[in-house]
Structure 1
Amino acid sequence: MIVALVVACEVAFWVLLLAGLALRYLAKMPRLGAAVLLCEPLLEVVLLVVTVIDLRGGAQPDWKHGLAAVYIGFTVVMAHRTLRWLDVRFAHRYAGGPAPVKPPKYGWERTKFELQSAGRWILACAIAAGLLQGAVWLVGDSGDVSSLRGWQMRMGVVAMINVIIAGSYTLFPKKEPEGVGAREPGRVERVGGFTKR
């Protein structure tokens, strides 16, 4: 049941997201669109409550309960960013908004981008690990919590991978290749009202 609920929450997340944005930009109903988008956190609340009820009802903790905790942790952190990412594209496509800004490729800006990305992943892992620990305490000595501990270990590995990736960009920032960004031959530019070739 827990796995089916996780899948249902994921499907409902995308349905609510697309419905909210469609209402905002296509139907020109921004308030209703915002109301639909605000329903999204209820999905995590429902999943959390059902998981707790299942464990308190005597269910043996297994990988499904760990999956629920991980899903909640990552959705809490990543859902808002996903919404912003899609919102910018909907606004550009249907409401004349500015074009989406591409992530930086080089230098300190790229390093900062990677650090922020790693920070989000690490926070998601920390929230998931905290929820898993809550499940361990909830079960107490009445059941085998090895599967929950296993999920905690996986969250530690994911967090460490992100630390390594962010660290590599910090210690060895990606440099812009020579010639990239240089003015192309024959290209016309406007500089201070004058034409420059």
Structure 2
Amino acid sequence: MAKTALIIVDMVRDFTSPDGKVFYPQNQAILPNIQKVLAKCREYGALIIFIRNSYRKDKYDKNLQTMRVNCIEGTGGDEIDPSLKVDPVKDYVIKKRRYSSFFGTDLDLVLRENGVKNVIVVGTKTNCCIRATVTDAYYLNYEVYVVSECVATNDETVNRVHLEDINKYLGHVVTMDELFEKFEGGIL
């Protein structure tokens, strides 16, 4: 069993594609870095989990009352970015409807069933979905690593402030090189 899991949060077409409903260029810019981390995690046998922000078509959802309508099932906007290849046999794809990848999903159960102790979190948006996911992972006693070049939001100052808080209170913010050293050193 893998003791480490890579959690890729909300890298779906509405966030990553220029024609997406809530596209930010920063999300597209981090895709190559996430691809590298994904490849390294596969190489070292980490469990791969894609979190897919997905709202039910024609159904009420509180989140959609305060934001632009996005990631509606059946529109293609909630599909994982095609540059991030999902292995349908080994990888998990977990749908969510709230900021935290843990809330209302079976993510914690999947991690525990697979003996995961360490979670690497990458994706979008640092101030909402990344922060909420990291906070819940911390409360559930996972050792959390956020890769600084693999998270983004639409404002670099906001991104930096949230990464500083995560590093101070909730986990470890590491560079890609530092993450790869942890794999090579057997820490992850």
Q: TM-score, with normalisation over the residues of structure 2?
A: 0.29
Q: Which has the higher contact order (CA 8 A, sep 6+)?
A: 2
Bigger share in strand: 2
Higher Cα radius of gyration? 1
TM-score (norm 1): 0.28
